[in-house]
Amino acid sequence: MMEEYATALAKRISGLFGNKLTGVYLHGSLAMDCFNPEISDIDLLIIVENGLRKDEKEALDALFLKEYRGDHLPAKGLEVSVITRGNVYPLLYPTPFEYHFSDMHIDAIRRGVATFPATDPDIAAHIAVIRARGRVLIGEPIEAVFAPVPYHYYMKAICYDIHDAEADISKQPTYMILNLCRVYQFCIKQSVASKKEGGEWGLQSLPVRFHPIIQKALKVYETGEMWQTAVEEEASLTDFAVYMTSIIREKSINFLEHDDNLKI
């Protein structure tokens, strides 16, 4: 049902832009078949042929804010970025964007005071997911729109989310545990994985002492229940973050310093 909703929303977005729209593309958990409406959002990239006018940005705000007045969105709502075609083929890193909407910024968007940086390092990771696992909701084929993503761009993008893992793991244990697993999985297998897939791989590949917290993270992720940290888990979380950041740092050097020949 959520993919049907995303497709219907893409058609409404198309109505705002007409021939200016290149396409609307689905990535994230819904594209990777691990969507949970209790904890997930709908992730979209909108590609346009040229930059957005102020009235077009306001029309997007109005459309998305209207959706938040219904009860059909998942718990985390929508995350949408608009990018011009010339910035994704060839791919610029960090990638400039024209517009952004997300649950995190919705209060500022409602008040008309939202401001965003001109570029976003995460977009390279979103594009890699689209190229590997994404879906066209409306518009041109993925291969015709998105340039291949060099490994070192993707590695920088996914490492951006875990750069302060030791401090963040106690605040966001589920997110951080599964993200660390999928980053390390890419280091070893060069596969684009979901958080769920990263956690499942971690259970097969990481030391047994970490299995209880990985199993718990997977359960919380799949059920949407709250993570309650037991006293005996606090040291394990820190140990896990220290261990994972160390091995990721060691393994990622090859990708972070690599040339552009290896691409997703």
> Residue 259's pLDDT is what?
60
150 DSSP 8-state letter: B
Residues 157-178 have pLDDT tens digits of 999 889 999 999 999 999 999 9
More confident residue, 261 or 37: 37
Candidates 3.20.20.70, 3.30.43.10, 3.30.460.10, 3.40.190.10; CATH matching 2-149: 3.30.460.10
Residues 98-157 have pLDDT tens digits of 999 999 999 999 998 988 879 999 999 999 999 999 999 999 999 999 999 999 899 999
The long-range contacts involving 234-240, CB below 8 angstroms and separated by at least 24 positions, are 234/170, 236/209, 236/210, 236/212, 237/169, 237/170, 237/173, 237/177, 237/213, 238/166, 238/169, 238/170, 239/209, 239/210, 240/169, 240/177, 240/180, 240/210, 240/213
Which residues are CB-contacts of 100 (< 8 A; sequence separation ≥ 6)? 80, 81, 82, 116, 120
- As given in the structure block, the two tokens for residue 196 are 């769920």
Going by pLDDT thresholds of 50, 70 and 90, the confidence category of residue 263 is confident
The β-bridge partners of 133 are none
The percentage of residues in the chain with a pLDDT greater than 90, rounded to a whole number, is 86
| Least confident among 24-38, 104-118, 172-186, 245-259 | 245-259
Give phi and psi for 246, each to the nearest 5.
-65, -50
Residue type, 220: V
118 DSSP 8-state letter: S
- As given in the structure block, the two tokens for residue 87 are 């910035």
Going by pLDDT thresholds of 50, 70 and 90, the confidence category of residue 262 is confident
Q: Are the beta carbons of 175 and 238 closer than 8 angstroms? A: no
Q: What is the mean pLDDT of residues 71-75?
A: 88
- As given in the structure block, the two tokens for residue 224 are 């949407």
> Residue 72's pLDDT is what?
83
- As given in the structure block, the two tokens for residue 73 are 């969105």
Q: Are the beta carbons of 120 and 160 closer than 8 angstroms? A: no
Q: Structural domain boundaries of the chain?
A: 2-149, 152-256
Q: How far apart are CA 178 and CA 42, in angstroms?
A: 19
- As given in the structure block, the two tokens for residue 130 are 């689209």
Bridge-based pairing state of the strands 95-96 and 119-120: antiparallel
115 DSSP 8-state letter: -
- Tell me the whole-structure pTM to 2 decimals: 0.94
- The 10 Å Cβ neighbour count of residue 157 is 22
Residue type, 142: I
Bridge-based pairing state of the strands 42-48 and 78-84: parallel
